[in-house]
Amino acid sequence: MDRMRKIKRQLSLTLRGGNSGDKTLSETISSQDTGAHSDSGTAMPVGGSGGLRGSVRGSGEIVHEDVKMGSDGESDQASATSSDEVHSPVRVRLRNNPGRKISTEDINKRLSLPADIRLPDGYLEKFNLNSPLFDKPLSRRLRRVSLSEIGFGKLETYVKLDKLGEGTYATVYKGRSKLTDNLVALKEIRLEHEEGAPCTAIREVSLLKDLKHANIVTLHDIIHTQKSLTLVFEYLDKDLKQYLDDCGNCIHMHNVKLFLFQLLRGLNYCHRRKVLHRDLKPQNLLINDRGELKLADFGLARAKSIPTKTYSNEVVTLWYRPPDILLGSTDYSTQIDMWGVGCIFYEMSTGRPLFPGSTVEEELHFIFKLLGTPTEETWPGITSNEEFISYNYPRYRADCLHNHTPRLDNDGVELLSKLLQFEGKKRIAAEEAMRHQYFHCLGERILTLPDTISIFALQEIQLEKEPGMRTNSLSESGKTTKRKWPMNDDS
Between residues 465 and 115, which one has the greater pLDDT? Answer: 465
Residue 461: half-sphere exposure toward Cβ, Cα within 13 Å = 25
Give 294-351 pLDDT, tens digit per residue. Answer: 998 876 666 655 444 444 445 458 999 999 999 988 777 888 899 999 999 999 999 9
CA 148 distance to own-chain centroid: 22
The residue range of the domain holding 257 is 238-477
Give 204-255 pLDDT, tens digit per residue. Answer: 777 777 889 999 998 888 888 888 889 898 999 899 999 999 999 999 999 9
Average pLDDT over residues 141-169: 80
In this structure, is residue 24 part of a structural domain?
A: yes
pLDDT at 108: 64
In this structure, is residue 35 part of a structural domain?
A: yes
Lowest mean pLDDT among 107-121, 234-248, 360-374: 107-121
Same domain (yes/no): 453, 343: yes
In this structure, is residue 141 part of a structural domain?
A: yes
- Tell me which range, 197-201, 326-330, 384-388, 444-448, is most confidently predicted by mean pLDDT: 444-448
From the candidates 237, 279, 297, 324, which is the catalytic residue?
279
Same domain (yes/no): 142, 246: no
- Tell me which range, 361-365, 467-471, 478-482, is most confidently predicted by mean pLDDT: 361-365
pLDDT at 329: 82
pLDDT at 219: 86
Active-site residue flag, 279:
yes
User: Does position 473 have pLDDT exceeding 50, yes or no?
Assistant: no
**158-166 and 275-276 as β-strands: parallel, antiparallel, unpaired?**
unpaired
Percent of the chain with pLDDT over 70: 61
CA atoms of 283 and 483, how far apart (whole Å): 10
pLDDT at 126: 61
Between residues 298 and 123, which one has the greater pLDDT? Answer: 298
Average pLDDT over residues 118-147: 63
User: Does position 14 have pLDDT exceeding 60, yes or no?
Assistant: no
Same domain (yes/no): 144, 289: no
Lowest mean pLDDT among 115-119, 251-255, 261-265, 356-360: 115-119
In this structure, is residue 158 part of a structural domain?
A: no
Same domain (yes/no): 245, 142: no
Same domain (yes/no): 257, 392: yes
Q: Which residue, 317, 420, 404, 407, is CA-closest to 371?
A: 420
DSSP state of 119: P
User: Does position 427 have pLDDT exceeding 70, yes or no?
Assistant: yes
In this structure, is residue 489 part of a structural domain?
A: no
In this structure, is residue 197 part of a structural domain?
A: no
CATH number at residue 312: 1.10.510.10
Greatest Cα-to-Cα distance within the chain, rounded to the nearest angstrom = 91
Q: Which residue, 240, 251, 229, 264, is CA-closest to 408?
A: 251
CA distances from 489 to 160, 167, 201, 359, 430 (A): 22, 6, 11, 18, 27
187 marked as binding residue: yes
Q: How many structural domains is the chain composed of?
A: 2
Residue 362: band (very low, low, confident or very high) from pLDDT cuts 50, 70, 90: very high
pLDDT at 49: 35
What value does the mean pLDDT of the chain take?
Answer: 75
Boundary of a domain, candidates 125, 150, 175: 150
Average pLDDT over residues 140-148: 70
Same domain (yes/no): 132, 249: no
Lowest mean pLDDT among 70-79, 158-167, 323-332, 422-431: 70-79
Boundary of a domain, candidates 99, 129, 150: 150
pTM score: 0.70
CA atoms of 79 and 81, how far apart (whole Å): 5
pLDDT at 425: 92
In this structure, is residue 275 part of a structural domain?
A: yes
Boundary of a domain, candidates 100, 131, 150: 150
Same domain (yes/no): 146, 245: no
In this structure, is residue 215 part of a structural domain?
A: no
Between residues 326 and 489, which one has the greater pLDDT? Answer: 326
Same domain (yes/no): 143, 271: no
Between residues 104 and 405, which one has the greater pLDDT? Answer: 405
pLDDT at 192: 74
Between residues 165 and 310, which one has the greater pLDDT? Answer: 165
Q: Which residue, 305, 304, 324, 325, is CA-closest to 314?
A: 325
